[in-house]
Structure 1
């Protein structure tokens, strides 16, 4: 009889453990869709251009002959409190706008959420850069607003990054990993949605796959010229000076 009680107890513990893992997964892969309002993006570029007429007409022509929205996909793998954000190839037709900051995706980002360190491989002006630094510290303000994303109930949080960029995030506490798309982290759960309302771009999860991901597959990228975040900023200023407008912060995202 005592043996039966022990077996029942072991089974109950196993069920509880499985239930906890299902409710609070610590490993999986999330697919994100990045959506850019290209018409709004072009309108900002037109305002930033010198009033030379020709370049503005060219941008207006591109805007009037192309779809309003561009959509790109990426994946975020997570395990052992580490994440790896990987952009997927752009399936659309390639033109001069495809290589504009804020439109293309080149950031391959590894983040160790335990140590607070990250490695970002990004392409800037045709060169591969490898940034090793501490993860961006974001002062989030959590609100009471909620919405459902990819089947998960999420809560809204707001923040300002890089002094002036307003960010809206939606995170779920059903995934106990403090990660998110691109370089956005620091909330008490996984970020499944990011919006930059004044910059007309969003990242929203379209699928959450809780199939176990080997922790050994989540490793930092290694190819590129090593830089710190401060060094990256100096490199951009050498090219753009103080006249790069929104191009500069897109490259620093």
Structure 2
């Protein structure tokens, strides 16, 4: 009992010291996404395996979060073969909102977001309040690297899109349903910032791991007070829209692309199809 009390007091003292001083940091995250594709019977096994391989490569990415006590900048580590659209053998996969130049700026003190998103050749600047996340904190703990982390969860819903291919003279069908899911996060009060990867925020410590049932974001490295400093520049360029307006633009553009792709396929005598992620 005495040992546990000593550890708790030391932990609390360490957090208090960090809160009393200015500090910065860079957290590196690796992401993986599980895809459960339900494709119709017209698609052979080889084609399904090719799609799975293309998606797996696309969703294994690396991101950095540069932060201080109140603000953070999250962006993807650029690669030479960065692509948001992949095509092969009559297939086209569009990864919406996955541009390598996208920058997400969050300010938890002022409760606001500025997200530069380049998609389909246009640059948008999403300016809005940070979306509220109803975290339920628990006493469950685990270590991620050298950091003691606590578990927190919240419930949410998302759209699930299903696609079926059509015959040469018919259009394919898209079905949109809504499913409930649970977000599980692990945060460390040892780094007392209310930030995390992507749009996750609001916990009393840096979020080092997030899983929403399909995507896992895991911190592989944290550098506190890096010698070269951090870049917390807020993006300023792009057509200004709210988050809801941007979702509507995305839906409309994706529908337009789907119709165009189906039309081109019928005109060229191809039975291709399109998979859209993130729309």
Q: Into which bin does the TM-score normalised by the smaller protein fall?
A: 0.7 to 0.9
Q: TM-score, normalised by structure 1?
A: 0.72
Find the partner of 1:86 among 75, 97, 120: 75
Task: Say whether 1:60 aligns with 2:48.
Answer: yes
Task: Say whether 1:138 aligns with 2:133.
Answer: yes
Report the Cα offset of residue 17 of structure 1.
9.5
Report the Cα offset of residue 52 of structure 1.
7.6
**Residues of 2 paired with 1:228 and 1:67: CA distance?**
29
Moved more, 24-33 or 149-158: 24-33
- Per-residue CA deviation, residues 115-166 of structure 1 (Å, 9 max, x unaligned), is 1001111233332221000001000111222221132111111112356342
Partners of 1:150 and 1:208 within 8 A in 2 = no
Q: CA 1:59/1:132 → structure 2, altered by over 3 Å: closer, same or farther? A: farther
**Residues of 2 paired with 1:189 and 1:152: CA distance?**
11
Find the partner of 2:156 among 158, 161, 184: 161
Higher helix share: 1
Q: CA 1:191/1:65 → structure 2, altered by over 3 Å: closer, same or farther? A: closer
**Residues of 2 paired with 1:239 and 1:53: CA distance?**
27
Question: Which structure 2 residues correspond to residues 1-253 of structure 1 after superposition, within 5 A?
Answer: 20-21=17-18, 26-37=23-34, 41=35, 43-44=36-37, 46-47=38-39, 51=40, 53-54=42-43, 59-63=47-51, 70-90=59-79, 95-96=86-87, 99-101=94-96, 107-162=102-157, 164-197=180-213, 199=214, 201-212=215-226, 217-240=231-254, 250-251=278-279
Aligned length: 221
Task: Extract unaligned runs of 5+ from structure 1.
Answer: 1-15
Partners of 2:154 and 2:183 within 8 A in 1 = yes
Q: TM-score, normalised by structure 2?
A: 0.66
Q: Give the SS at the match of 2:195.
A: coil
Report the Cα offset of residue 26 of structure 1.
3.7
Q: CA 1:220/1:101 → structure 2, altered by over 3 Å: closer, same or farther? A: same
Moved more, 59-68 or 202-211: 59-68
Q: CA 1:236/1:216 → structure 2, altered by over 3 Å: closer, same or farther? A: same
Partners of 2:113 and 2:129 within 8 A in 1 = yes
Q: Give the SS at the match of 2:60.
A: strand
